Structure 1
C-alpha cells in the first residue's frame, strides 16, 4: 500500500493535510490524531504536514517488517525493545528508500544514505506521540495499562539521536560576502545584459525580492506572504503580518510567517522601487488585482497573476545560485544570517548594552526576547570578534618578548 500526504484547501481558506492510501482514502487513526491532537492544539499546517510525513514513515516501517500496531494493541500487545531498535534504525532512511527491498540487488552505497539527525529526532518524537495516542485508544484498559503505554512512549523517545551543540562548522560559518551579494544585485538590475530573464516586469520583481530579503533579513515565507496593504507609503514602513489560512490565497501550500508580527522601517529609495513595480508592472499582469499579494506570477499560463509559490521561489534562488560558482551558497536563509552579521557590525561603537542589542535584533527579526535565537544568529560576529581579540593578545605578548631580547 502506497501512502501519501495530501494537502487541500477548504472553502473558508483553511488548509488541511491528511494521510491517504493509494486509492485516495484517508487513514482513520492518522486523521483522528491530526484532528484531536494537532488541530486542537492550533498547530500550523506545516507542522501537521511534517508530522504526517513521520507517521507515513512509521507505516512504511510496519510494512517492511510485516507489523500491524493497531491489531497488536487491540490484543493487549505492545512494541518489543528490539522492534523499537529496528524502528530507530529505519527512521534514519530517506523516505524514498523505505520501500521493501526488491529481488534485485541494491548497491550498498545507495542504501547507506541517512537523513540528518534533527530529522531522525523529529520523526521519533512524532512517532512516540502517535503510538501513545493509538495505544491509548486501542489497548484494553487495565490497572497498569496507562503506565505501560507511558513507558513505551518514553522508550521510543529514549531511542532518539542525541543532538548536542553544533561544532564550529555550523551554519553561522557559511556566510556570504557583500561583494557576492553586490554582484547578484548587479546581475538582477533591470536592464542588465547579464540578467537571466528577458521580461522587464520579471526583472523588476526578481530584483526587488532579492533586495528586500537582503535589507530586511525576513524569511522567504514572510516575503511571499507580503501584501500591498502591508506597506505604508506615507511613513515608509513595512508590516510583517501572519495570515494563516487566508481565504484569498489560491496557493494550497500557503507560505507562512513563522515569526512575530512587526513593523520594519524602509528607506525612501526602496519604497519608490516597490511602488514602481506595483504600478508599472504588477498591476498589468492578468489576475493580479484579484488579491493583494505583492509578488505575482508573470509568465502566461493557468497561474498567471497568482501569488508566487514556494516552489517557484525555490527555482528562482536555484537559478541565481547556478549563475556562478561563488553564488553556490546562496539561499534565502543565508541572507537572513548575513543581515544579522551586518546588524552586529553596525552595533559596534554605539555603546549599547548586549541586552539592548538583543532586544532590537529580536524585534526586527520577529523573535521572542527570551527565545535565545538572537544569540544563535550573532555567532559569526562573536567568533570574529573573539578571533580579533585573541590575535591582539598574541601580538601584545610577542611585542613584550621582542622588547626583552
Structure 2
C-alpha cells in the first residue's frame, strides 16, 4: 500500500512471480525462515519460494480452471485497489500510478490461462471398483502390504481413507473435525466451519470450503471412529485439544501430512490405474453416489438435491459434473455401444 501511495505499482517481473505462485496450493509453498513461527493464512510474495528438493516431488499444480479463477480475482482486486488509492493522490502521482498499473495489469491479464470447455483427457476421475478394493485391502491395519510400521499410525491412516471414501468430504473438512462434532448416541458427524480458529496451532488451518452439514455414518464405521478416539486419547498432547485426526505425537494433523500419507499409499499400491490423492476419494464418492442413485431409480432432480446436500454445495450447484467423470464416461460408452448394435456390421 505504501508503494501505491507513492504512485508506484508492481513490476512485470513481480507479476510473473505472482502468476507462477498462484498455480500451486498454499500448503505446497515454502517461506523464508523469517516467517517461521508467524501464524498467518497470508503468504508474503517477496518471501515465498517453491520447494525444489527431491522430497517434494509430489507437489502438484492446481487445475487450469482454478489457476485462471485465482488470477482473475487477483486482477479484479488490483484494479479496485489502484482506483481506490489513485482517488486520494495528487494529480501527478495519480497519473503515474494509473499508467504504471495499466501496463502491468495488461501483463497479468495476458497470463490468465484459457480454460477448455467441457471435459478433457487426463482430467481427474474417481477410482474403479477394483482399485477401491485394492486400496482398502492395502491400508487395512492388519494388512502385510500396509506401508506403516506403528499400530496407531496404521489405524489412523486406514480411518482417514475410510472416512474420505464413505463421505466424500474434503481433507480440510476431515482435519477440521473435533470430537465434539460427533454425536454420542447417533452415527452422525457435524461438518462445521471454523475460520481462523484461535485454538488451532497449525500454520495453515484446514477450512471447509462448503456449507455446514451433518453426515451420517454406518454404525460399523462410527464404531471404528470411537475405537480410534480411544487410541488417540492415550497420547497426552492429543488430550489438550479437541481435533479427531492427530499426529503420532499428538498435535493436530495438517494438509502436508495427509499428502504424505497418500504418497505412501501410492508407493504401496503399485499398479493402481489412477494417480491417487485425497481428492480422488471425493471423485470416487460421487461416482459411487451416481451408481447408487441409478440403482434406486432416483429422479435427476432428487439425485441432484441429495448430492448437493451431502457434499455441502448450494442447492443450484452444478459441481457434480466435475466429480462424476468416470461414471459419465462409462454411461456414455454404454450408450454408444447400444447405438452401434443397430449398425449390424457382420463379425469378421
Select the residue among 277, 286, 292 that pairs with 1:346.
Answer: 292
Q: Tell me the CA shift for residue 141 of structure 1.
A: 5.4
**What is the DSSP-based 3-state SS (H/G/I as helix, E as strand, rest coil) of the residue aligned with 1:294?**
coil
Matched, 1:250 2:201: yes
Query: Which 10-residue stretch deviates more, 150-159 or 219-228?
Result: 150-159
1:116-163 per-residue CA deviation (whole Å, 9 max, x = no partner) reads 754366236414522541453257455xx69x9599398567533332
Matched, 1:232 2:183: yes
Equivalent residue, structure 2, for 1:23: none
Q: What stretches of structure 1 move > 3 A for 4+ residues in a row?
A: 68-71, 86-96, 114-118, 138-142, 148-158
Equivalent residue, structure 2, for 1:323: 268
Equivalent residue, structure 1, for 2:26: none
Distance in 2 (CA, whole Å) between partners of 1:121 and 1:277 is: 39
Q: Aligned in 2, Cα 1:308/1:247: closer, same or farther, shift over 3 Å?
A: same
Q: Tell me the CA shift for residue 336 of structure 1.
A: 0.4
Q: Tell me the CA shift for residue 312 of structure 1.
A: 1.4
CA contact (8 A) 1:70 1:134 kept: no
* Residue correspondences, number: 303
Select the residue among 192, 197, 201 that pairs with 2:148.
Answer: 197
Equivalent residue, structure 1, for 2:302: 356
**What is the DSSP-based 3-state SS (H/G/I as helix, E as strand, rest coil) of the residue aligned with 1:264?**
strand
Unaligned runs of 5+ in 2: 23-28, 30-44, 47-60
Q: Tell me the CA shift for residue 313 of structure 1.
A: 1.5
Q: Aligned in 2, Cα 1:120/1:364: closer, same or farther, shift over 3 Å?
A: closer
Equivalent residue, structure 2, for 1:295: 245
**What is the DSSP-based 3-state SS (H/G/I as helix, E as strand, rest coil) of the residue aligned with 2:215?**
strand
Q: What's the RMSD between the two structures over aligned residues?
A: 3.4
Structure of greater Rg: 1
Query: Which 10-residue stretch deviates more, 194-203 or 213-222?
Result: 194-203
Unaligned runs of 5+ in 1: 1-27, 30-67, 100-113, 299-303
Query: Which 10-residue stretch deviates more, 152-161 or 193-202?
Result: 152-161
**What is the DSSP-based 3-state SS (H/G/I as helix, E as strand, rest coil) of the residue aligned with 1:322?**
helix
Matched, 1:169 2:114: no
Distance in 2 (CA, whole Å) between partners of 1:243 and 1:91 is: 28
Distance in 1 (CA, whole Å) between partners of 2:303 and 2:155 is: 34
Please give the TM-score of this superposition, normalised by the length of structure 2.
Answer: 0.75
Distance in 2 (CA, whole Å) between partners of 1:179 and 1:258 is: 30
